[in-house]
Amino acid sequence: MSANQTDPMIGRLIDGRYRVRSRIARGGMATVYLASDLRLERPVAVKIMHGHLADDENFKERFIQEARSAARLAHPNVVNVYDQGQDDESAYIVMEYLPGITLRELLQEHRVLTPEQATDILEAVLAGLAAAHRSGIVHRDLKPENVLLADDGRIKIGDFGLARAASANTATGAALLGTIAYLSPELVTRGIADTRSDIYALGIMLYEMLTGEQPYKGEQPMQIAYQHANDTVPMPSAVNPRVPAELDELVLWATARDPEQRPRDARAMLEHLYDLQRGDAVPGGTQKTMVLPRAMAPVPPAEAFGAGRNPTGPAGQNGPTGQTGPAGLRGSTGETAILQKARHRTGPVTPALGTNAEALGRKAAARRKRGAVWLVLVVVLALVAGTTAWWFSLGPGSQATVPAITNASVAQATSKLEAQGFGVSDEQVKTYDPVIAAGQVTGTRPEAGATVHKGSAVRLVVSQGPRILSLPKVVGQQEDAAKKALSPFTVGASTTRFDQKAKGTVLGIAGKNASGATVDLQNATTYPERRPVTLTVSLGPVPDVTGQSLSAAQAALTAVGLKSVQSGGEYSDSVANGAVIRQGAEGDGAVVPGSTIDLVVSKGPTPITVPDETGRKVSTAESALAALGLKVSYADCTTAQCATATALGFDWRKLVKVQSQSPAGQGTAFKGDTVTLKYDGSSLSVG
């Protein structure tokens, strides 16, 4: 299975605008995808930071810094940045899409470039880098992987992820950023970078283009870093004899260990490259002596200055004007120090200077001969250019860019393509798409943004809708385990309610049908891929507050997100006055956060109205009072008749009547209270 088929980002719609089509490249910090800008209908490259770095603020800041740094630049040799943002937890950068390869891929394929090819690439990179340096930006990570070679011939610098302001020296701290093979000595030893650090990296790249290898090698990164800090980069011609001396010295100038001996920035090095390309003749037939790196200047033999004498002094020593050239001295008149010292010698001109003059004369004659050749060549090229322009604009070779088409019907897509001069193949590409409905077009083959001949047949990529997957049973599981089991679907925020099941237990699962209506999935066995699902999760039982005071009960319910209201009071012989007798959900529905709980509060024991029992037999009165939950007591039975009646074994209470009672009739008592009855003992007779 290909990486595109397994990458979950493929098919995603980022920020409602960028439809991800395929993966272009993956690095340690981010992955780059080809996407379609649905708003402007153009292909773009979207760089998405890896999810595991989302919580690392340093990485996120470097990622955002890349967008800000590159967005400040508007130059044909710098990759354009269109947009930057965050979708869910994924930070992203939207850049121009450049179909082509990197300089690293070119070197892997061809290994060694010709001096002309290397110079062309160097000029383009210097132009883009000069724009960055002019804007106060140091790239700090120049390497072949970050030089893009587009199919249409454009050359651009990308990946400003390590860029920093160049207004002052920039220290990297304890960790060295950038690729070790291109780190300047000052970055290795002091962790400090400025514009000249970029020049050093570019010098190493030029060496690699001319020789097919890097100047320093080692099994461990520290071995390479040590060589950067202590060794001198060798001349490329020592590896590739076809490298001209001018490029040898350009490499040595750019890779000088002392930053003061390098070009001050990309603009200075670019201007020097232009001088090399123009030659050293100026209008009027006079000669201009270029301030070149030492090996590029005409060097007289040692005897012209005395054995062992150094004509230029230590590398980097100031000349009469106080300025240093690429290597050696610069004179006050613009001539090299070597020529100045030669002028002050007595006697005939040295052989070295004579040889140099002859060489300059030969070069001038050669240029005059080349002028006629160039004229013929220009005419031929103009004819070829005209023919080529006709071929590609009006003739059979005319080209067109495939438009972006998504979420359109087959008929609409066909009409749009035919209107722009394309044919539409009867053969369609079927694909699953979790977002675009079945039967709608998700893209084309070739993909949007591809350049093809007008009239070419384009195949439509048609959605079959989302894949139908098995839906796991999650009711009764804990919420975390359920969400992992549902990873092929889009799991939204859970809803919650109070339930007798333990907190975190899944009570139900719901989803959406094709029309967007909510459906219960508890008994479903399949469900479309990435379709939304929502879990209902238990918050545990509602707190039992019966027997608590009203204030304590309300506080306990508020603590779990519930409201409460006192719905009334009742007498209770078992619950203390002011305490909760019972509780219940308002309306007896499901209890969710914010629901109201009804509380019934005790008013204390039930009051009893004492009946008037005077004049009734004592036994009858006792039964009536006992039925009401009252206790009965009597006046002492001390008369001789009462004692005699008791001794004879009959119930005297059935013979006497109540004379008075306490409390009196219609008084108030409570369950368990005692009513005292008095009776007329004289009415009790025996025998």
User: Among all residues, which ones are annotated catalytic?
Assistant: 141
At 326, the amino acid letter reads P
Specify the pairing of strand 596-602 against strand 563-570: parallel
Structure tokens at 236: 């490329």
Give the H/E segment covering residue 451: strand 451-453
The whole-angstrom separation of Cα 345 and Cα 368 is 34
Over the range 71-95, which residues count as b (16 or more CB within 10 Å of their CB) and which as e?
bbbebebbbbbbbbeebeebbbbbb
Of the candidates 475, 507, 505, 509, the one whose C-alpha atom is nearest the C-alpha of residue 492 is: 509
Alpha helices by DSSP H, listed for 255-350, are 266-278, 337-343
What b/e string do you get for 172-211 counting C-beta neighbours within 10 Å, with b at 16 or more?
Answer: beeeebbbbbbbbbbbbeebebbbbbbbbbbbbbbbbbbb
441 exposure class (CB count in 10 Å sphere: 0-12, 13-18, 19+): buried
Is residue 396 reached through a cis peptide bond, with omega within 30 degrees of 0 on the bond before it?
no
The set of residues, in sequence order, having a beta carbon less than 8 Å from that of 425 and lying 6+ positions away, is: 457, 458, 459, 460
What is the rounded distance in angstroms from the CA atom of residue 162 to the CA atom of residue 177? 7
The Cα 442–Cα 429 span in angstroms is 10
CA distance 169 to 188: 14
Asked whether 13 and 435 are in contact (CB, 8 A), the reply is: yes
Residues 6+ apart with CB under 8 A from 621: 613, 632, 658, 661, 677
Nearest 5°: the CA angle 52, 58, 62 is 95
Residue 67's H or E segment, with its range, is helix 57-71
